[in-house]
Chains A and B, each alone.
Chain A
C-alpha cells in the first residue's frame, strides 16, 4: 500500500501580524492541517531569500511567508521590501526546478485567525496535490 504523502511546509511568520494571526487561529480553535512548521521572524522583510532556498534544499515541500498587510507593517515598510524581494525570487525558484506553487507569500493581520487557517489549509492542499518535491538543489548537506 502506498504511503500517503505528508508534505512538510515551513512557514516564516512576522511577529506582529501573522504570528499573532496564527495565535488568533489557535485561540479561536480553527483547525488546519498540521504540516506547517512555523518560524517566528520579526518582519517578513527579515526573511532572507537564502533561508527559503536552504529550506527547499533541506527538503521542504513548500514555504509560506506571511506578513502584515501592505501599509500595516509594524516597521512601516518591511513588507514592501519583502513583496519585491519575493516577486524576484519566485522565477528564480522555477529556474532551479522548484515549482512556483510551492512558494507562497500571504498577508495575514493579527485579527485574521480565520484567514490564516484558510491560507494554511489551501496551501497544504496545493502542496499535497503537487506531490513530493522532485528537484534537488545541490548537495543536501547540513549547514
Chain B
C-alpha cells in the first residue's frame, strides 16, 4: 500500500476562485491510498514547498500528488521539493487544475469542481503505480552552433565565444550582417547602422573561438542536449575562400547583370559578386543560376550551343575561382544550438490596390532604406526609381502586412511606426523641401525615447500624420494619387505624391518552418518559433539545448534582438558550465523474458535507440540504449507481445488513469 499525499493549490484565486478546493480536498481524503491532504494558497511558493517537504517527512508519504498549474509549468519545481524530503523526485504526479480546469471552465464552477475531483483521482491512480526513476549522467560537448548571422546571432556567437567556448556560426547568405546591414540609420538615435554593426561583424571574423560558415544551412540533426550531431550543408561558392582576396576585379569583368538581392532589386550585380562592400567574409561567390559559365554547362547538357564564359577565372589575380567545387556536408558535434534566423519583410504585391510591382515609385520601406544608404544604389541620394528625380511629396502607408487579418497577418510588426518616423525625418534631412505624409492606424511608439522621437518628426520636421487607411493608389502622369481617409476629420483625402513608401511588416525568414521541423521545435501559425514559455522562458524552446534569439521568435527591434542574443548566449554558457548533464529517465524498457525478437520496435524507433541483443541461450531480443532513447513510446504502442513499456507512462499507469474515471 502506497502512502499518497495530496496537495491542492488555490493559486490565489486562479484555481480557488472557480474550483471549490475544500470539496476537492474532502473527496481526495476518500480516495484509495491517500493518507494526507492539504491545501495551500500558493503551493509553489517557498513556504508552500516547505509544507510539502514537512508533510512528506512527518507522514512518511511515499507518493505525492499536487493539484496545481500545468506540469509544463512547475513539474521541475515540485520534483526538487519532493527530492528535498528524501523521496525519489519521480514519485510525483501533477493534476492540472488550472490550465485544464479552472481557467477554461470559469463559466461553470460546479462542473469545474467535479472535474477537478476527477483530475485528482486520475493523478492518484497513476501515482500509486509510479516507480523510482534514476537519471543518468552524460558528458557535454562544449561547442555551440549559432544558426543565422544577423545581429542577434552575431551577439549570441560573440558572447558565447567570449566566455571561452567554441562557436560555429552558420549563415545562409554569402555574408553575415542580416537585415541590419541593409539599414541606413537606426531609430531613435539616428546612429549609422553600418557603423555600429560592421565592427561586430569584424569581431566575429577575427575571433579565435568563432568559425564562420556562410552559404550554409543545417540539414540534419541527431542526438540530444549536450550531444547534438549536426549536418551542415555548405553550398558551393565556386570560389576558394582561402585564396580570394576580395579585390573585386571579377565583379568588374563579369558580363552578367542581375538584380541585387541586397539592394532589393534597386541595383544590378554581377553573377560573381560580393553582396556589399563591408561583407564578412569579404569573398566573392558565384551565383550559378545566372553565371555564363554554368548556363553554358547547362545548355551543353541540353545539346544547345551557347558560348562559354570563364572571364572571372581568367582575370582573377589570385586564381581563386573553382568552377568544379561541389556542395559539401560538414558533420560536427555540438552541445547547444541558438536559432537566430531572423525575418524578411512582407511581400507587398499582396496589396494589388496599392499598385506595388506596377508603379515603380511605390516602394517598400526597406527599398527606401537602400536608397538612403550611402553605400546604396544611388550613393545615398534619394531619387525615385521611375525617372531618377528628387521626390518632394512622399506618402508613407503603415501596416502593410501587419494587423490585417485579410492578409493572414493579424499581429503588429512593432518596428514600422518607428522606422516611418525615422525615414520621414531622414527624408527631410536629405532634402528640406520634402513633405512627408504618414497614414497610420495607431502610433505604437513604446520604448525608450520612442514617443519623443515620433513627436519630433511631427513638431520639428513637419511630418503630417493622417489617421486612417488608404483605399488605392492611382498613377496620374508623373504623380501617384493616394486615395485615403482621415478618420479623425471623417472625410476622404487625396494626396498627389511623387513617391509612396509601404511600411511592410515583419515575417519569419524563408525556410523557418522547415528548420523548425529539422530541429523538432514548435512554430506558430505565422511560422515564428515558439518559446518554452512566453513570459519566463523567452529564449528557450521545448527542446532542451535549443535556444532562440531575435526576430525568429517575433517582431522586435535592434536593441531587443541584441538583448535576446545575449540572453540565449547566457543559457548556452550556463549549460556548458557543467561537465555532465542528467538525462531524462523516462525511457523505454523491454521485458526480455517476454520479447519474441521481432524487432518491430527497432524499426519504428526514430532515434535508432533499440538494437538486437543476443542472449546467452542464443535468443535474439530487443535492447534499449537508454542514452539514445528520448521516451516517445512509439515502440511501446508497436510491440506485439506487450513487452515494451515506457517508464513514467507505463500501460498500467495510463490504464489506471482511465479506470479511475469509472471507479
Residues of A within 8 A of B (CB): 8, 10, 15-17, 19-20, 22-23, 25-27, 29-32, 34, 37-43, 45-51, 54-55, 58-60, 68, 71-78, 81, 85, 109-112, 117, 142-143
Question: What A residues does B104 contact at CB under 8 A?
Answer: 25-26, 29-32, 34, 117
Question: What B residues does A49 contact at CB under 8 A?
Answer: 637
Residue of B nearest to A68 (CB): B522
Residue of A nearest to B73 (CB): A23
**7 tightest CB-CB pairs across the interface, nearest first?**
A26-B99, A46-B633, A75-B632, A111-B524, A26-B103, A23-B99, A34-B111
Pick 19 A–B contacts, CB within 8 A, sort by A.
Answer: A22-B99, A23-B72, A26-B104, A31-B106, A34-B114, A37-B115, A39-B658, A41-B633, A45-B637, A51-B651, A51-B655, A58-B658, A58-B661, A60-B661, A72-B522, A74-B542, A74-B632, A76-B606, A117-B104
B637 touches A34 (CB 8 A): no
**Pick from B72, B586, B654: contact of A39, CB under 8 Å:** B654
Question: What A residues does B158 contact at CB under 8 A?
Answer: none
Question: What A residues does B530 contact at CB under 8 A?
Answer: 110-111
Q: A111 to chain B: closest CB distance in Å?
A: 4
Given A25-B104, A58-B662, A111-B524, verify A45-B657 contact (CB < 8 Å).
Answer: no
Q: Is B573 an interface residue (CB 8 A)?
A: no
A29 touches B106 (CB 8 A): yes
Residue of A nearest to B522 (CB): A110
Given A46-B637, A74-B542, verify A39-B122 contact (CB < 8 Å).
Answer: yes
Which chain B residues (30-58) contact chain A, with CB distance < 8 Å? none
Q: A102 to chain B: closest CB distance in Å?
A: 15
Which chain B residues (632-659) contact chain A, with CB distance < 8 Å? 632-634, 636-638, 646, 649, 651, 654-655, 657-659
Taken together as a complex, chains A and B put the C-alpha atoms of A25 and B118 apart, in Å, by: 20
Interface size on B, residues (CB 8 A): 55
**Pick from A22, A32, A45, A59: contact of B662, CB under 8 Å:** A59
B103 touches A29 (CB 8 A): yes
A19 touches B106 (CB 8 A): no
Question: What B residues does A117 contact at CB under 8 A?
Answer: 104
Taken together as a complex, chains A and B put the C-alpha atoms of A50 and B543 apart, in Å, by: 29
Question: What B residues does A15 contact at CB under 8 A?
Answer: 72
A142 touches B517 (CB 8 A): no
Q: Is B105 an interface residue (CB 8 A)?
A: yes
Given A20-B542, A42-B586, verify A81-B638 contact (CB < 8 Å).
Answer: yes
Question: What B residues does A74 contact at CB under 8 A?
Answer: 520, 542-543, 632
A34 touches B649 (CB 8 A): no
A27 touches B99 (CB 8 A): yes
Taken together as a complex, chains A and B put the C-alpha atoms of A40 and B646 apart, in Å, by: 13
Residue of B nearest to A16 (CB): B542
Question: What B residues does A40 contact at CB under 8 A?
Answer: 71, 649
B516 touches A75 (CB 8 A): no
B103 touches A27 (CB 8 A): yes
Given A37-B118, A46-B649, A111-B525, verify A75-B99 contact (CB < 8 Å).
Answer: no
Residue of B nearest to A20 (CB): B72
**Pick from B108, B112, B607, B651: contact of A48, CB under 8 Å:** B651
B632 touches A46 (CB 8 A): yes
Q: Is B604 an interface residue (CB 8 A)?
A: yes
Which chain B residues (237-263) contact chain A, with CB distance < 8 Å? none
Taken together as a complex, chains A and B put the C-alpha atoms of A29 and B655 apart, in Å, by: 30
Question: What A residues does B646 contact at CB under 8 A?
Answer: 42, 46
Q: Is B70 an interface residue (CB 8 A)?
A: yes
Given A39-B654, A143-B655, verify A75-B525 contact (CB < 8 Å).
Answer: no
A26 touches B632 (CB 8 A): no
A110 touches B542 (CB 8 A): yes
Question: What B residues does A50 contact at CB under 8 A?
Answer: 651
B522 touches A46 (CB 8 A): no
A-contact 0/1 string along B529-556, CB 8 Å cutoff: 0100000000000110000000000000
Q: A48 to chain B: closest CB distance in Å?
A: 4
Question: What B residues does A85 contact at CB under 8 A?
Answer: 637
**Pick from A26, A45, A51, A58: contact of B634, CB under 8 Å:** A45
Q: B204 to chain A: closest CB distance in Å?
A: 32
Q: A115 to chain B: closest CB distance in Å?
A: 9
A8 touches B103 (CB 8 A): no
> What would 20 more interface pairs be, CB under 8 Å, given A26-B99, A37-B119?
A26-B98, A26-B100, A29-B103, A31-B105, A34-B105, A39-B654, A39-B657, A41-B633, A42-B586, A42-B632, A46-B646, A46-B649, A47-B637, A51-B655, A58-B659, A59-B661, A74-B542, A75-B606, A81-B604, A111-B523
Question: What A residues does B525 contact at CB under 8 A?
Answer: 109, 111-112
Question: What B residues does A71 contact at CB under 8 A?
Answer: 517
Q: Is B150 an interface residue (CB 8 A)?
A: no
**Pick from A19, A48, A77: contact of B606, CB under 8 Å:** A77
Q: A11 to chain B: closest CB distance in Å?
A: 9
Residue of B nearest to A140 (CB): B662
Question: What A residues does B630 contact at CB under 8 A?
Answer: 75
Question: What B residues does A81 contact at CB under 8 A?
Answer: 604, 634, 637-638
Q: Is B663 an interface residue (CB 8 A)?
A: yes
Q: A73 to chain B: closest CB distance in Å?
A: 7
B663 touches A142 (CB 8 A): yes
Q: Which of A30, A68, A77 has the most CB of B within 10 A?
A: A77
Taken together as a complex, chains A and B put the C-alpha atoms of A31 and B102 apart, in Å, by: 9
A17 touches B96 (CB 8 A): no
